[in-house]
Amino acid sequence: MDWKKVAVPLVAVLILLVLWEALVWVMGWPDYKMASPSDLGPAFIEFQHLFWLYGWQTLWRTVAGLAVAVVFGTTLGMVMGLSRMLNDALYPLLVGFNAIPKATVVPVIALMFVGQHDFNTVLMAFLISFFPIAVSVAIGLSTLEPEYRDILRSLGASRFTVFWKIALPKTLPEFFGALKVAVTLAFIGTNLVEIITPHGRGLGHLFQSAQTNSDFPLMFAVLLALAALGIALYYVVVALERLFAGWAMRPGH
Amino acid sequence: MKGPVLGNLIEIKGVTHAYKTKAGPFPVLRDLNIAIPEGSFCAVVGPSGCGKSTLTRLIAGLMIPDEGEVWLHGALVKQPRKTVGMAFQNPVLLEWRTILQNVMLPLEIVAPGMPRAQKEARARALLAMVGLEGFEGKRPSELSGGMRQRASLCRALVHKPDILILDEPFGALDAFTREDLWQTMHSLRAREPFTALLITHDLRESVYLGDQVVVLSGRPATTQCVMEVPIPGPRPLEMLYAPDTVARLARLRREIQIAQGREVA
């Protein structure tokens, strides 16, 4: 039975690639109009050193932004989840900020911190990804059933003890759910800056130069590399979730 | 107001309490009096929404009454104490802990210095008493509703509380499981004596478990009547069908109807 789990998605991917290849072949599209899967390999090999260099830049800046988002988002979520007043004060601000399309923020921070490319990129990855973390931690904490609190409070436990022994672990599944969303968002943030700002770095910049040259094989190769990085980081989060919140998963899942 | 009467573990004296709402004070308890002797089991029944859960929070020291006093073991209750055990309709076990670790939780708060082996032995002994031997390492999600409630009872008793507060712990269980747990309560009391206050909607439960049954009036709740059930435990399940019990149930039913204002006394 187990081989089916691997074979079925693998076959699906293969079919997709064959159809893609066939489409490009039948339509007779040249390289500057559309790439086919068989073009991607040569593109990777030709620009190998750039993929390693830029891939690393994109990865570390995304992870750094995500790390800041985790610390800031969790703290904000804790504050909002534990204080009704601060929640009422901060929630509209947060929703408003989140509603701003982040592409419009890039020129603003590029102007504010001219030339600080690494800083701007990390800042953007952070700004775009902290929202789901803050909201889920806040909701997790504020929806804690009062009985959980009463059981410890009636024993004279402090607010901190209640938080540490019950509220925090109970919020972990929601936190990891949000972190999975945040990983994808952080990549979008990094790439926005890399693509929009001139003389950028990272895979977004490579994509931008490929676009300038109508180099479809390279553009698709970059997309593939970004997808690979995204998937890798996603599964790092899944592994952490198994480690710290494995209890929330039903057996057999 | 005088102090507590000797021999009474809990005394609720003239307690009046109102919640503050936008529409002004919302009275829930009015001049409520209940006395529970040490080692006895007090069941409290009353119309729904009459402030029974407020009563549990007052005894636990989680709230202070507007007027009146709550005495526990000769001391005025002003704040949460370490000598209370609570169990609710929702067993609220912590999913990330095993059953054994869940039962040990109160000891971590009340007796942080106690050696782990000693905490574990105490928890294991209680779990065995309620028939959960062999389930110590399971997660709460692997247990049935009745088993979870048994574990919740163990957690409420593990630190040998002065008073066990039960807020409709059997309310969400099916009839057979509920009767099983009633018997478990009696066998627990025989082996591990405790003083208890049970909030319930089930009159049969109140008579089967209680040494006294207190009927509360509708909101704001006051003591409508107190019925003694002078039958020593552990009580057999057949007691539920004895003529005495049926007569008591009829009387309680009538008192509740008066409390609801459906019948004039």
Choose the closest CB to A153 out of B80, B95, B165: B80
Distance between CA atoms of residues B203 and B185, nearest Å: 16
Distance between CA atoms of residues A249 and B5, nearest Å: 52
How sure is the predictor about B1, in pLDDT bands with cuts at 50, 70 and 90? very low
Q: Are A76 and A130 in contact (CB under 8 A)?
A: yes
For residue range A231-243, list pLDDT tens digits in order. 999 999 999 999 9
Choose the closest CB to B92 out of A147, A154, A155: A147
CB neighbour list of residue B22: distance below 8 Å, 6 or more residues apart: none
The correct answer on CATH 1.10.3720.10 for the domain covering A43-244 is yes
Distance between CA atoms of residues A174 and A75, nearest Å: 15
ipTM (interface predicted TM): 0.79
Give chain B positions within 8 Å (CB) of A150: 57, 60, 62, 86, 88
Q: 0.95 cut: is pTM over it?
A: no
End-to-end Cα spacing for chain A? 16
Distance between CA atoms of residues B198 and B180, nearest Å: 17
The β-bridge partners of B41 are: B196
CB neighbour list of residue B228: distance below 8 Å, 6 or more residues apart: B211, B212
pLDDT value of position B169: 92
Give chain A positions within 8 Å (CB) of B59: none
For residue range B212-250, list pLDDT tens digits in order. 999 988 878 888 889 999 988 789 989 999 999 999 999
Inter-chain contact A153–B62, Cβ cutoff 8 Å? yes
Distance between CA atoms of residues A175 and A169, nearest Å: 10
| Length, in residues, of chain B | 265
Residue A48: CB atoms within 10 A of its CB come to 10
Region of poorest pLDDT, from B8-12, B42-46, B102-106? B8-12
For residue range B154-179, list pLDDT tens digits in order. 999 999 998 999 999 998 899 999 99
**Token pair of A236 as six digits:** 């790092």
Q: What is the mean pLDDT of residues B63-81?
A: 88
CB neighbour list of residue A111: distance below 8 Å, 6 or more residues apart: none
For B107, nearest residue in chain A (alpha carbons): A155
Q: What is the dihedral of CA B198, B201, B204, B210, to 10 degrees?
A: 20
Give chain B positions within 8 Å (CB) of A248: 95-96
Choose the closest CB to A156 out of B81, B90, B155: B81
DSSP-derived secondary structure for A43-68? HHHHTHHHHHHHHHHHHHHHHHHHHH
**Token pair of B90 as six digits:** 């929702």
Rounded to a whole number, what is the distance in Å from the CA of A184 to chain B's nearest CA? Answer: 28
pLDDT value of position A253: 47
Per-domain residue ranges of chain A: 43-244
Q: Give how far Cα B110 sits from Cα of B19, B56, B149, B160, B254, Å.
A: 30, 20, 22, 10, 43
**Token pair of B221 as six digits:** 């709740």
